[in-house]
Amino acid sequence: MDIQRAQEIMNSSEMVNVTLNGERIYIEHVDRQKGTATVHLLDKPDEKMSVSVTNLLEH
């Protein structure tokens, strides 16, 4: 995924199916300068992680 699409998904009012290593995630924040996103697994909202947006896959 590219940084622009990650930003669009984050700002969307719709729930978009995005995965990281096969696990469904929610994008909380996008850092355009670093090319990263703060995400959490849908079933683990308290476990936030920062990952490269290139590792995210939209379905």
pLDDT in the model for residue 9: 97
pLDDT in the model for residue 47: 96
pLDDT in the model for residue 51: 98
Per-10-residue mean pLDDT, the chain, length 59: 97 96 97 98 96 98
d(CA 2, CA 5): 6
pLDDT in the model for residue 11: 97
CA distances, 11 to each of 6, 16, 21, 22, 27 (Å) = 9, 11, 22, 22, 9
d(CA 10, CA 12): 6
Judge contact between 49 and 39, C-beta under 8 A. yes
CATH number for the domain whose boundaries are 3-58: 2.30.30
Which token pair is 11? 């700002």
Domain ranges of the chain: 3-58
**For tokens 């978009």, what's the residue?**
16
